[in-house]
A and B are shown apart, each in its own frame.
Chain A
Amino acid sequence: MPGDVISRFASVRLGTRGNQRKERGFGRVNGHHGEILQGIFPDDAGRLHRGLVTLPCDIVSSTAVFRPAPGILVTVPDDKLKAAEAARLTLDSLGLHDQGGHLTVESTIPVGLGMGSSTADVVAAIRAVADAHGATLGADEVARLAVRAETASDSIMHGDLAILFAQREGIVLEHLGPALPPLEVLSVNTAPGTGVDTVKQPPADYDDWEVQAFRPLRGMLRRAIRTGDAALLGRVATASARISQRHLPKPAFEEINAIAASAGALGIQVAHSGTVVGLLFDPRNPATTRRIAEAAARLEAFGLPPAFHFRTDAAEVRHVA
């Protein structure tokens, strides 16, 4: 996005002048529900990148407040190390090397499920620090800072934009469209009480066939987004979940898949570095309410009661800079 370069330089100027500084800055960002697609993708030059397409979930979020002050940076709670690191990097990138302040981070995103809790804290912190200095950072700049703070980041700083995002580089590999086709998602935590350390996991070692198999998934995803076809999106998500199953297996994957199919779901979707699985339904289909109730009952009978369900096209403001 060409505008981002301009805003980046503009913000540096604003920050160092300091005359835009506020008493408090706010940052907020929504979590997500894992990915529609995650794998290996070539760029235009043919070079391979790890990439993902996030499924946004706006019923959970992280919020940060930053009060600038001279001296050290204090973060509350003090175990939000990544958020603290991100705040420091943001201050440095604004040229404010000697400045500290007080950062508070609050989140409703459960930890270890692969719903973006870590990245959300980081992004909220970056936005709060930037806001406190009157700076508006573009999503690409936020992504670069987030990746520096936590090595691999989800693409939530881009809001609902449908993008193929290189999570270890913080760059957009492909702009797919303004948003994914709308979905209604029934959420199941396949490993309640355990959780995955989403950051410490080694990246998946895909084999040669899998590296190639991501190409048709990407092709079908482009069409799903271009034509608003939720059924195609369900096929892509299920295929990506199947590959993920070889690398970070979800307990009861086949059973959940069978329940999804028998309840008329479009497919399933997983957190490729977490424990949640989503059963995908078409919110425009009048049968969806009944089908979700059926699927929920079957999952409950199986011993995996779904935690919640949400729509990706709910009429809510999701972008909070």
Chain B
Amino acid sequence: MSLEMTMSQPLSRETRGFPDYELPRLVRLADNLHGAAFFLMKLLPARHMLDRAAADGRLKPGGTICETTSGTFGLALAMLAAVRGYKLILVSDPAIDEHLHKRLLELGVTLEIVEKPYEVGGFQTARLDRLRAALEANPGSFCPSQYGNADNPRAYAEVAEQIAERLGHVDCLVGTVGSGGSMSGIARFLRHLNPDLHVIGVDTPNSVVFGQPDGKRLLRGLGNSLVPPNVDHRQFDEIHWVGAAEAFLATRRLHQHHALYQGGTSGAAYLVADWWARTHPDRKVMTLFPDEGHRYVASIYNDDWLAALPGWTGLLPEAPQPVAHPSDVRSSWSSYRWDRRTLDEVLAAANPVARDLAEAA
């Protein structure tokens, strides 16, 4: 849609939403460390994607939305669909949280649970197939596709606006990467005002987003089994991989030390941001806490559940282990100088350790 068309559009009738829930509350954790604590970060990109689709006719009044998600994006879509009168079909798998499942049903969502993973491609591919079938069975329905929809990162201009207005200049941005929308979006907007902004992405071992091999992950919300087009790798100066146990412990520490009751990805972001802020005391750091802790009462906030985690030590490393290549990341907190390169550039660069070993042989 052209700019002139966008500007002359009548305002969407579907304007109900949760504007005061979309933006984070800003909290100062240390002199140079600020956190953006969201109620449910995904409300912002979900609302923006629906607004844009409604404005250009991809989503009709009372129309149907289909998406595959078992996380916070589904909840955000469900809240918006409920107040805006859309039908919502969500494709998920048996790993979906029981309470979230009930909540989605109460909001009127049609939940399609894929029972069995494919032999090749696992649940991810099975869910995508089921999503395709749902879209075909509901002609004219809209799929937000948060991994590829450019309105996802663009939605975060409002967070960048809030940060710029409240804090002015920031030196460093730290946040977790799942779809890539929040970090790629905010980083690019803030960097337009500050080309020197230092951007740190937080991923988890066994996520392919920044070049680890795919594998089982306990920490959810960040990381991915595929590389979402919305991850703009060239925005990142530094990547950290935080393991599940470390992220959960840091989540508890965020609550114990700063009284912020947030989810596990918030803990992962806090661990990295706190370290960077301590080691760069004269630089102003902003970090993102994407959701609240209530969904994790029985897990992250339950000592018995934590103690039963494989390899649980109850200890939090003071600093990350620097690695020479993403493939060197093991199960615990690691860091890597990404230097604003593409994924291909990073992967094409030979692993210096492997190279040295080969040369020594």
Binding site for B on A (CB under 8 A): 40, 45-50, 205-209, 211-213, 215-220, 222-224, 227, 229, 231-232, 235-236, 239, 242
Contacts and interface: CB of A to CB of B under 8 A. Distances in A.
Contacts of B3: 40, 205-207, 211
Interface string B1-32: 01110110001000100000000000000000
Contact of B168 (A45, A48, A218, A223): A223
18 contacts: A40-B3, A46-B11, A47-B7, A205-B4, A212-B155, A212-B189, A213-B157, A213-B189, A216-B164, A217-B192, A218-B161, A219-B160, A219-B163, A220-B165, A223-B165, A223-B166, A235-B194, A239-B193
Interface of B is mostly: helix
Nearest to A216: B160
Given A219-B163, A223-B168, A232-B168, A213 B7 contact: no
A72 B228 CA distance: 69
Contacts of B11: 45-47
Interface residues of B, number: 28
B192 A242 contact: yes
Most buried by B among A40, A49, A220, A231: A220
B180 to A, nearest CB: 15
A50 B7 CA distance: 9
Nearest to A47: B11
B154 interface: yes
A224 B4 CA distance: 30
A40 B164 contact: no
A222 B15 CA distance: 26
A289 B278 CA distance: 38
Contacts of A231: 169
Contacts of A217: 164, 192-193
B190 interface: yes
B6 A48 contact: yes
B162 interface: yes
B157 A212 contact: yes
B168 A227 contact: yes
B166 A205 contact: no
B214 interface: no
Contacts of A212: 154-155, 157, 189
Contacts of B163: 216, 219
B269 to A, nearest CB: 20
Given A48-B7, A235-B169, A215 B193 contact: no
A66 to B, nearest CB: 37
A242 B189 CA distance: 13
A120 B42 CA distance: 47
B150 interface: yes
B129 interface: no
Given A40-B3, A222-B165, A236 B193 contact: yes
B15 A229 contact: no
A222 B158 CA distance: 14
A201 to B, nearest CB: 15
Given A216-B190, A239-B193, 6 more contacts: A216-B160, A216-B189, A216-B193, A218-B161, A220-B165, A235-B169
A45 B10 CA distance: 11
Nearest to A229: B168
B7 A40 contact: yes
A40 B154 CA distance: 15
A50 B4 CA distance: 10
Nearest to A231: B169
Contacts of B4: 205
A241 to B, nearest CB: 11
Contacts of B157: 212-213, 215-216
Contact of B192 (A49, A207, A239): A239
B168 A216 contact: no
Interface in B139-156: 150-151, 154-155
B169 A232 contact: yes
Nearest to B10: A47
B285 to A, nearest CB: 18
A208 B194 CA distance: 20
B2 A205 contact: yes
B189 A208 contact: no
